[in-house]
Amino acid sequence: MTTGTALSDFTQRLDQTAEDTEALLGRLLSDTLLPDEIARPKRLMDAMRYSSLGGGKRLRPFLVVESSAVFGVPRDSALLAGAALECIHCYSLIHDDLPAMDNSDLRRGRPTLHKKTDDATAILAGDGLLTLAFDIISRDEIHKDPTVRLLLTRALARASGLGGMVGGQMLDLAGEGRFGDREPVDVARLQQMKTGALLRYGCIAGAILGQSTSAQYQALDDYGRALGEAFQIADDLLDVEGDAAALGKQTGQDAALGKTTFVTQLGIAGAKQRVSDLLARADSALSIFGAKGDVLRAAARFVAERKN
Ligand code: GRG
C-alpha cells in the first residue's frame, strides 16, 4: 500500500465501521415503535432485517465515517448518516434482484429476498428501507443545525432518485432493450448515476456534516466521483474475471445480457489502465487534506482492488 495508512489499519477501520453499522441497523430495525408509528408488521421487519443485516462490506457507511473524520465530526452522527445511506443501498439491491429487474437468485452469498420470501414482501421491504433512510437522515441527532440536516437529506434524495441511482437503473434497462430497441448507452454517465451517485454521497456527506469550505467540498466531490467510477470498473472486471464464490453472486451476467460495460468499451487492459488513472485522480483530489486524507486514499485502492 503506497499511502500512509497500513493495510492492517485500514482493514481494522473498515471492519469496525461494518460492526458498528450492523449494530446500529439492528437497533433501528427493532420492535421499538417511533413516535407517530402505529405498528411494525413482523413479516416486513424480518424481511428488512434479512436484507440489511449480516452481510455486505458496508463501504458506503465507511465513506461517510471517514470523510466525516477528516473534519472531526462525532462518530455517532456519521454512523447514523452512514446507516441511512446503507438502507438506500440495501433497498436498491432488493429491487434490483427482483424478477422484473435482474432476476437474481443469490445476493451476498444467500438467497435473494424475493426467493426467500415472495415478490410482494421484497418490494415492500425495499420501500420500507427507502423511507426509513429519510427518517434516519433527518433526525435531530445527525446535527444540531437544521440547515445541515436539510442539505444532507436533499443530497441523499438527489443521489438516490430520478437524476441519480433510480434514473441510472432506468437507463440501464433501456440499454438492455427492455422497452423496445436497445437504446445507445453512455456507460460513464449511466454508471455515474446508477452506482456512482451513492458512493459520491458517502464522500460529500462528511463535507456537509463537517460544514467544510467550498474547496474542501469540491475535493471530496472530485474524490467521490473518481472512486465511484473505479468501483464500477472493478465491478465490470469482476463480472468477467472474478470468482463467483468470493463474490457471492453469479459472474458473466453482463455478457449474458449483452450489456455495454467499461470492459466491453475499453477492453480488459484499457479498463485496468482507467482504474489506475482514477486512483491518481482520487489521490490528487485529497491533497488538500494532507495526512488526514490517508484513509480515504486507502479506501480508493481497496475499491479498485477488491475481490468481492
Ligand atoms: C432497483 C432502484 C433500483 C436501483 C438498482 C445500484 C443498483 C441500482 C443496483 C445494484 C446492482 C448491482 C449489483 C450493481 C453493481 C454495483 C453494486 C452496487 C454492487 C454491490 O455493491 P457492494 O459491492 O455490495 O458495495 P455489498 O454487498 O458489499 O454491500
| Separation of CA 93 and ligand 1 centre (Å) | 5
Q: What is the pTM of this model?
A: 0.95
Residue 274 in contact with ligand 1 by CB distance below 6 A: no
Q: How far is CA 282 from CA 219, 220, 227, 276, 285, in A?
A: 9, 9, 7, 10, 5
| Separation of CA 104 and ligand 1 centre (Å) | 12
| Separation of CA 92 and ligand 1 centre (Å) | 7
Residue 165 in contact with ligand 1 by CB distance below 6 A: yes
What phi and psi, each to the nearest 5 degrees, are found at residue 107?
Answer: -145, 130
Kindly report the average pLDDT of the chain as a whole number.
94
In DSSP terms, 110 is beta-bridged to 107
Q: Helix, strand or coil for residue 8?
A: helix
- Quote the radius of gyration of the chain (alpha carbons, Å): 19
Lowest mean pLDDT among 18-27, 57-66, 157-166, 251-260: 251-260
Ligand 1 atom closest to the CA of 248, numbered from 1: 27
How many whole angstroms separate alpha carbon 209 and alpha carbon 82? 12
233-243 pLDDT per residue, tens: 999 999 998 87
Q: Please tell me the predicted confidence (pLDDT) of residue 13.
A: 96
Confidence of residue 184 (pLDDT cuts 50, 70, 90): confident
Mutate which of 86, 92, 94, 105 to test ligand 1's pocket (most atoms within 8 Å of Cβ)?
92
| Amino acid sitting at position 64 | V
Q: Please tell me the predicted confidence (pLDDT) of residue 4.
A: 61
pLDDT at 2 over 60: no
Are residues 50 and 24 in contact, defined by beta-carbon separation less than 8 angstroms?
no
| Separation of CA 194 and ligand 1 centre (Å) | 8
Mutate which of 96, 98, 104 to test ligand 1's pocket (most atoms within 8 Å of Cβ)?
96
Enter the DSSP assignment of 2. -
Q: Please tell me the predicted confidence (pLDDT) of residue 251.
A: 79
pLDDT at 90 over 80: yes
- What contacts 24+ positions apart, CB below 8 Å, involve 21-24? 21/58, 21/61, 21/79, 21/82, 21/83, 21/86, 22/53, 22/54, 22/58, 24/79, 24/80, 24/83
- Nearest CA to 94 out of 103, 85, 84 is that of 103
| Separation of CA 59 and ligand 1 centre (Å) | 11
Provide the CATH number for the domain formed by 3-305 in this structure.
1.10.600.10
Q: Please tell me the predicted confidence (pLDDT) of residue 1.
A: 45
Q: Please tell me the predicted confidence (pLDDT) of residue 268.
A: 94
Confidence of residue 308 (pLDDT cuts 50, 70, 90): confident
Ligand 1, atom 14, lies closest to the CA of 195
| Separation of CA 269 and ligand 1 centre (Å) | 24
User: Cell triple for residue 213?
Assistant: 469550505
Lowest mean pLDDT among 2-16, 66-80, 116-130, 200-214: 2-16
Lowest mean pLDDT among 38-52, 157-171, 244-258: 244-258
Q: Domain ranges in the chain?
A: 3-305
pLDDT at 40 over 90: yes
